[in-house]
Amino acid sequence: MAIKKRGTLRAKARKRAGFESSATTKAIASKERLLDKLVKEKVSRAEKVPSLDANQSGISKSSIRRRKRKLREQLSAKLSDLETALIDTTKVQERVEEEHEDEAVSRKKLDHRPNPHSARGAMALAKKEGERFKAVLKETEFRENPFASLKEAILRNNSL
Q: How far is CA 73 from CA 28, 29, 67, 78, in A?
A: 15, 16, 10, 9
**Mean pLDDT over residues 151-157, rounded?**
82
- Residue pair 71/40 in contact by the 8 Å Cβ criterion: no
Is the pLDDT confidence value at 86 over 80? Answer: no
Quote the pLDDT of residue 54.
52
Q: What is the pLDDT of residues 109-141, one digit of tens each?
A: 888 889 889 999 999 999 999 998 888 888 888
Please give the Cα distance from 122 to 132 (Å, whole number).
15
CA angle 30, 31, 35 (to 5 degrees): 115
Quote the pLDDT of residue 65.
87
Between 9-13, 80-84, 86-90, 129-133, the lowest mean confidence (pLDDT) is in 9-13
SS3 content of the chain, % helix, strand, coil (to 5): 80, 0, 20
Helical (H) or strand (E) element with 22? helix 9-46
The torsion angle over the Cα atoms of residues 128, 134, 136 and 137, rounded to 10 degrees, is 160
pTM (predicted TM-score): 0.29
Give per-residue burial for 54-64: e unless 16+ CB within 10 Å, then b: eeeeeeeeeeb
Q: Where are the domains of the chain?
A: 9-104, 119-159
Q: How far is CA 58 from CA 44, 50, 55, 68, 123, in A?
A: 20, 11, 9, 17, 84
